[in-house]
Amino acid sequence: MARANILNTRTINYMELIGNGKLYRVPPYQRDYSWSQEQWEDLWNDIVELRPRAEDRHYMGALVVAGESDREFLVIDGQQRLATLSLFALAVIDRLQAVADQGIEADANRERGRELRNRFIGEKDPASLTESTRLYLNETDNPFYQDYLVQLRKPINPRGLPKSNRLLWECFLYFRERLQTADGLESDGRDIASLLSETLARQFLFILITVADELNAYTVFETLNARGLALTTTDLLKNYLFSLVRVPADLKALQRRWQALIETVEQARFPAFLRYHLLCELPQVRSQRLFKLVRERTKTPQDVFELLKQLEGRAELFAAISDPSHSYWIEWSEARVFIRELNLFRVRQAMPLLFAAWELFPRAEFVRTLKLISAISFRYTVISSLNTSALEPVYHNAAKAVIAGEAAGPAEVFKEHLKPIYVADEKMRQDFALLTVSTRGQRKKLAKYILARLEGDAAGRACDPDTDPGTIEHILPENPAEAWSETFAPEQWEASAYRLGNFTLLEAAANRTVGNAAYADKCAAYNKSAYVLTKEIPEMAPEQWTPELVAERQRQLASRAVHLWKSDFA
């Protein structure tokens, strides 16, 4: 990391951080306060445990600020911690006031409260006599913080507060309650004050990183891996974009539209969404460069709103592709089946092509594109387990061709761009014949899906893996009885049990009945089954089940799979 990007990096305690007239401002459109009781309890427990150990120190992580002057700083990362510590300080001051009101060392405790307020919350300017606080929160939270919490005023209707304001109030109440009921705190006020003035102020340490601007802050985040660095790419992008818009009406419009966008794609998934959006145009967009790319390409308010317009046009589709139950697909069952498959296969690299196909292909051709990507993904990722990092540039080029009008439909997309990642039939057959699939966790859904598709093909009727009541039967049981050692050596049990050729669908009641039974007993159940592939097992192996028969059955299933998961254009 270049030293030129960092003005100062040092370890500092809370007293030094907040003292000497320093002022910290959270950018207006930084994310709202979001800590909850889990984080409040952690902080409280840390304070209580540290109190009797005056020589010990507690590390609170890194704070990243941009220096606007030698006394004023913009909080790039750390506003959640700073806000919570300020609320703890206010709770201490409030508790001292309550003790004084009870007549316990009234003058001394009021003096303690005033000194702590001046030191940790704010003080009156000696010239203007107006009170200024050391911390200013974001646009949503600062009015409530200043007008109610700093003034120790109870809001008229706490339940009607915006969520982040309500969390601020509940945090204050949490600490106030703990201070009132904690064991070992004398009621004269000295111990209460010392929790703030000594334990928190002197024993809690931070790494304070002062950077030149938000771009350099991002360089810090890329390099520094420390507890407490919670600012996301989404936060940085939001702060930057909002910093370019100055007109109040435009800012309000941007805030509304940004909020709707984030609600659609979700905060945590926004960087992925933005990256796939950029991949429609740019090759090799790395997650670490998102902020820099946007900053390079977005310089004016007009650029901001143009980017927002483009993102809004793709946001709903991005959310729908990740959710087969999305309203997009309610009356579009021919698309939903492939959306479900892409999610089961965990396919994300094709998103730029899906954006482009959605915007430029007729509805039927978009569905054929979904089907094509599903077949490619099943062969490439699920069966052959090839390197998925090779997929992104291929789908980027395909998306670019669609947007440029060079590929008018999925047939051209396949022939000109996707054919290199389409696993050939013979390799597909060979890899499928060796496939093993766990039937635990997420992989169980994959196994059920494969069996249902194979059964549907064999029976000539739909077999929906999500609604079909059949269960996965292991012909060689997962936990075989000793009798199975006559045909399978014990060292072969685990390997053979999870071969796809050892799986079949079976009615749930029959599956419970046969359990770990001998093969002959299982065959009786198979003969009564309604599943075509299951009824074929006793015909194929009337007397015993062996590793050779597992392999043979899997080869037969592989031949069926090759034509079942196939491109329409191959």
Mean per-residue pLDDT pooled into runs of 10, the chain (570 residues): 55 89 84 91 92 88 83 87 96 93 91 92 67 88 94 91 94 94 79 92 90 58 41 72 85 89 90 94 85 89 96 96 91 90 94 97 96 97 94 96 95 96 97 93 92 96 93 93 90 91 95 89 94 96 94 97 94
Dist CA 308 CA 258 (whole Å): 8
Structure tokens at 193: 């004050």
Structure tokens at 560: 């069926």
Specify the pLDDT at position 257: 93
Distance of CA 301 to CAs 215, 229, 247, 275, 488, Å?
18, 29, 9, 21, 71
Q: Give the torsion through C-alpha atoms of 109, 113, 119, 123, to 10 deg.
A: -130
Sign of the Cα torsion 351, 354, 358, 360 reads positive
Q: Which residues of 155-193 are buried (b: 16+ CB within 10 A; e: fewer)?
A: beeeeebeebbbbbbbbbbbbbebbeeeeebeeebebbb
Dist CA 376 CA 422 (whole Å): 5
Specify the pLDDT at position 440: 85
Specify the pLDDT at position 238: 81
DSSP helix/strand/coil, 106: helix
Specify the pLDDT at position 226: 35
Sign of the Cα torsion 331, 333, 372, 386 reads positive
Which residues have CB under 8 Å from 256's CB, separation 6+?
A: none
Specify the pLDDT at position 333: 83
